[in-house]
Structure 1
Amino acid sequence: MPRIPNCCFHTRTGQEFVALNAFIERGQREGWENLEGEDEPTDTRQPLASAVLSAIRRANDVGDVEGLHERFPRAHGPFIDMLEENGQSLPFVILLDDGRIVTRIGSPWEAGRVIVIDDREISELGPEVISVGISPNRRFFALATKSGVSIRQGLDGPESVRLPWPSGKEGVPSEFTVEAISGTPTITTLCPFDSGEKVLLVSPEGVFVLGHERADRLLPTKEQLREHFEWLRKDYPDDPLSYDLSMEHGSLSPNGKWIAAGQQSSLHYIFDVNTLEIVGEIGHLSEYPHYAVFSADSSMVALSSCHFYNGETVGVPTELLPGLETEPYETDNRCTVLEEGSRVYAAVSRGDEFIIGDASGYLRAFDLMGNFRWQHFIGSSVGDIDISPDGKQLVVTTYAGFLSILN
């Protein structure tokens, strides 16, 4: 394994942040064995954190920001003490065609607000908006509120469709009775279809497709629910019947044919968009299925599984669908191991490459054959990534609450 600086439990800042990326680039270019004995770059500027923060705030207040980024390069480590008390996750990010950025301040399971960043102006999208999602063709937006999901053509456009939240009873075998979801589901992912008429909802309460007349449950499957409820009745007869997902995830293919979804205790599943039937069951190479993303041309789906801060990502050609089945922990020569090492939290695709963001604060890019292209250290676990339609600009959020814009 290549030597990768350990960034799981500490992060770096400013000039040293720049130095770390240079250090890693040297290691990859010259070989890590040639850097043996050299220490990783470190930063000792934590005592300056309050003064720097005050200076940046004053500069923004008076509009004197010319050269600010050069004088105070992006910093994270010195603010860790402040972040422990005040840090808030940015769980999703959307880069609009006009350059505005939409994100949420606050983890999905806690109180938060959705904001729009327009250059240096920041406004709240609306106190009733809980979350936002964008369709693969980037035409439709789904705005989540307590009363349901509003679909708009354009973030600022009028509502075209309103969809109710699932009850939580969808797909439950008839021999079991469960309580309805109390209030609004916790939203992990919200993705409208390109038609603007349906929405993929990923939540700890389940993975659903929301439509005009009903919601359809994808996960847990009916058989998974039956098996789990039978176990609960046997071993915990006094407990109410429930099934909460962990590491739940889902993604729509850009060509509108497939849904990839999974959760901690499942396989990787591919569903047909029209029938909502499972058409592919792919075994995970690491312990827990954790993330899925389709290539820009929908020719491949990248499926990531993890164990602690590590993971493994396999690329599955969609031409093998329907009917593909592979075994857990076994490589299949029809599929390609794209990346080994990263626990993937977010990803996008452009052209013939995937760009992933991982738990250790790195962005990594590789092509559809798994050939490494580049990487860049951000710091803190990556929350989400979006990319401009021309593929030339990335926006990246982190669990520590930083939003970075990269060319």
Structure 2
Amino acid sequence: MPIAHPEQKLAMARHRQAMTLQLNDSARQNWQRLAQAWGAAINDYVRIGNDYGWDVAGEQPELPGMQPLYPALLEALRAANAAGDAAIRQLREDWPPSPDLYAGLLEGNAQAISQLAVLADGSVLARIGASYETPRCVRLRQGQCEQLDSALLGFGLSGDGRLLALASVEGIAIHAGWQGERLAMLAWPTGAEGLPYGLALAENPRNFEIEALQPFPDGQRVLLACRSGVYVLAAGGATRLHPDAGRLHELARDSGSKRSGSKRSGMPLEIDLDMVHAALSPDGQWIAAGDQCSVHVLFDAALKPVGHIGPHSEYPDYALFAADSRQVLLNACHFYSGCSIGVNREHWIGLDTDYYDDAHPAITTLQEGARVYAAISRAGEYIVGDAHGYLRAFGHDGTPHWTHFVGSTISSMALSGDGKTLAVGSYGGAISLIALNSGERDAWQIGTGPHRERERWLFWQQEATPLRW
């Protein structure tokens, strides 16, 4: 075989480079075309379904086959992140992050973004991984991703954004904002709080698996939901809110039966709640709590249960108070769907409703269809994230406002103090930073809202570093 001359080698290399650029350029153009066509097709489908009925809309348009373009997309993502801000801005033009067009890349990459907070300076705190996984917290600021202290287990902002709770094995510290003065240091619950006489607690109550963490406005207490229950932590110790004594006895009987085949077992109680959730009203006066096997329970400022509300789907999984603290949203799910109901404050005390009690005058059905693990409230509006990757906004009376598709199941949400930036995390390992009410919408965007995604971060397990898009 003849040996190629150096000039021939150079010419061949240039030819290969030109062919690669041509192929990538073709892939880029195909991606843009399909992204816009897909967005337009889904928006038309949803509009027809909403206006004329889903029988008229027919079958949802099929996702275009994008798998052949994935290698070129990954190459472009990695190259742009290596090159810097200007290249990333161009990347969004060349390779628009149409939410569902990279779904095939999630296999082996996906992981939950389990907590988000938007700080006063506009930076974003994120906890990467599910609550039961080894914590990894980062701070996103001005296009950079900063790894935070590995001792940080989780965090949470107060309703007004002034106070920040930071959790470590040593306890939960409440600060006056990011790197602000420490106002309190609170011990973790033991898990034995509120345990009825005669019950013993097993070791490892899974307190560190944080599902919700929110400081009270006084800066001296924090609401904690974890796998062993819902607590209010204060300098004098922890108070268990959920489960109550009756439910703890039930758990003891159930766990004893499972382990010994008898309901009369003296084995220690293991408390491991599924879908445990809790919310603190912005004014700090009310708490809503529950888990998948309970009703929704409301507590007053004295931490006394005042209302019990039956869910409107099988498994209670989420609670949120309106921004003015005058209504509570309660969601329950079944598989990938669910129902959110609302109850106004004047009905909370003494309320006791059964499952699916649609006729009760205190209950308003706010939204049907969404299984909710994350949501935010702002003036006159709730924004919930569902299991299918949609943000759905509606009023306190259930009137639909708008939708915005992000992709993958929504796992966390946070709103900036000025209300202009919404951070959305998903089980696909993505964080979307969305400019609310920007008056703009990208041609590829699926949804009806006047909002525009500014930036997306991909925390994919098979990538050496996070990818900014």
Task: Tell me, yes or no, whether TM beats 0.5.
Answer: yes
- Cα 1:34–1:82, aligned 2, differ >3 Å: closer, same or farther? closer
- Cα 1:367–1:28, aligned 2, differ >3 Å: closer, same or farther? farther
Equivalent residues in 2 for 1:196-345, closer than 5 Å: 196-233=219-256, 234-235=262-263, 237=265, 239-273=267-301, 275-331=302-358, 332-345=360-373
Please give the alpha-carbon distance, in whole angstroms, between the structure 1 residues aligned to 2:291 and 2:270: 16
Question: Which residue among 396, 403, 406 is the counterpart of 2:431?
Answer: 403
- Cα 1:405–1:142, aligned 2, differ >3 Å: closer, same or farther? same
* 1:145-170 Cα distance to aligned partner (Å, 9 max, x none): 11111111111213221111111111
Q: Does 1:119 align with 2:142?
A: yes
Q: Which residue of 2 aligns with 1:193?
A: 216
Q: Which residue of 2 aligns with 1:4?
A: none
Please give the alpha-carbon distance, in whole angstroms, between the structure 2 residues aligned to 1:184 and 1:244: 10
Please give the alpha-carbon distance, in whole angstroms, between the structure 1 residues aligned to 2:406 and 2:56: 22
Give the stretch that moved more between structures: 72-81 or 304-313: 72-81
- Note the residue ranges of structure 1 that are not aligned, 5 or more in a row: 1-12
Question: Which residue among 378, 397, 401 is the counterpart of 1:350?
Answer: 378
Please give the alpha-carbon distance, in whole angstroms, between the structure 2 residues aligned to 1:46 and 1:381: 21
Contact map agreement 1:167 1:180 (CA 8 A) in 2 = no
1:397 positional shift = 0.6
Q: Which residue of 2 aligns with 1:10?
A: none
Question: Which residue among 53, 63, 73 is the counterpart of 1:52?
Answer: 73
Contact map agreement 2:153 2:208 (CA 8 A) in 1 = no
Contact map agreement 1:348 1:386 (CA 8 A) in 2 = yes
1:52 positional shift = 1.1
Which protein shows a greater Rg?
2
The one-letter amino acid paired with 2:271 is: Y
- Cα 1:93–1:36, aligned 2, differ >3 Å: closer, same or farther? same
**Aligned residue pairs, count:** 394
The one-letter amino acid paired with 1:150 is: A
Contact map agreement 1:167 1:181 (CA 8 A) in 2 = no
Q: Which residue of 1 aligns with 2:447?
A: none
Please give the alpha-carbon distance, in whole angstroms, between the structure 1 residues aligned to 2:234 and 2:200: 23
* 1:309-368 Cα distance to aligned partner (Å, 9 max, x none): 111111000122321111212111122111111111111111111110011111101101
The one-letter amino acid paired with 2:78 is: R
SS of residue in 2 equivalent to 1:26: helix
1:196 positional shift = 1.0
RMSD across aligned positions (CA): 2.1
Q: Which residue of 1 aligns with 2:153?
A: 130
SS of residue in 2 equivalent to 1:302: strand
Give the stretch that moved more between structures: 71-80 or 57-66: 71-80
- Cα 1:319–1:342, aligned 2, differ >3 Å: closer, same or farther? same
Please give the alpha-carbon distance, in whole angstroms, between the structure 2 residues aligned to 1:76 and 1:370: 26
Q: Which residue of 2 aligns with 1:372?
A: 400
Please give the alpha-carbon distance, in whole angstroms, between the structure 1 residues aligned to 2:351 and 2:137: 39
Give the stretch that moved more between structures: 36-45 or 173-182: 36-45
Q: Which residue of 1 aligns with 2:169?
A: 146
Q: TM-score, normalised by structure 2?
A: 0.79
Question: Which residue among 416, 439, 449 is the counterpart of 1:388?
Answer: 416
Please give the alpha-carbon distance, in whole angstroms, between the structure 1 residues aligned to 2:422 and 2:41: 20
- Cα 1:14–1:215, aligned 2, differ >3 Å: closer, same or farther? farther
1:65 positional shift = 2.4
Q: Which residue of 1 aligns with 2:391?
A: 363
Q: TM-score, normalised by structure 1?
A: 0.91
SS of residue in 1 equivalent to 2:367: strand
Please give the alpha-carbon distance, in whole angstroms, between the structure 1 residues aligned to 2:330 and 2:434: 25
1:373 positional shift = 0.9
Give the stretch that moved more between structures: 338-347 or 66-75: 66-75
Please give the alpha-carbon distance, in whole angstroms, between the structure 1 residues aligned to 2:91 and 2:219: 42
Contact map agreement 1:198 1:211 (CA 8 A) in 2 = yes
Q: Which residue of 1 aligns with 2:22?
A: none
Contact map agreement 2:118 2:417 (CA 8 A) in 1 = no
- Cα 1:36–1:316, aligned 2, differ >3 Å: closer, same or farther? closer
Contact map agreement 1:133 1:191 (CA 8 A) in 2 = yes
- Cα 1:319–1:30, aligned 2, differ >3 Å: closer, same or farther? closer
1:96 positional shift = 1.7
Contact map agreement 2:200 2:268 (CA 8 A) in 1 = no
Q: Which residue of 2 aligns with 1:90?
A: 113
- Note the residue ranges of structure 2 that are not aligned, 5 or more in a row: 1-33, 257-261, 436-469
Contact map agreement 1:310 1:341 (CA 8 A) in 2 = yes
Q: Which structure carries more helix by proportion? A: 2
Percent of matched pairs sharing the same residue: 39
Contact map agreement 1:21 1:377 (CA 8 A) in 2 = no
1:262 positional shift = 0.7
